[in-house]
Amino acid sequence: LLKSLNVAYTKVDVHADVAAADKVIEINRGYLSVPVIMFADGTHLTEPSDRDLTAKLTALNLI
Give the domain CATH number at 43: 3.40.30.10
**Beta-carbon neighbour count of residue 53 at 10 Å?**
19
Number of domains in the chain: 1
Mean pLDDT of the chain: 97
pLDDT at 46: 98
pLDDT digits (tens, 9 = 90+) for 9-39: 999 999 999 999 999 999 999 999 999 999 9
The sign of the torsion formed by the CA atoms of 6, 34, 30, 17 equals: negative
Per the structure, the complete domain to which residue 5 belongs is given by 1-63
pLDDT given at position 60: 97
DSSP 6-51: T-------TTT-HHHHHHHHHHTTT---S-EEE-TTS-EEES--HH
Q: What is the mean pLDDT of residues 26-55?
A: 97
- Whole-angstrom Cα distance, residue 57 to residue 63? 6
What pLDDT sits at residue 11?
96
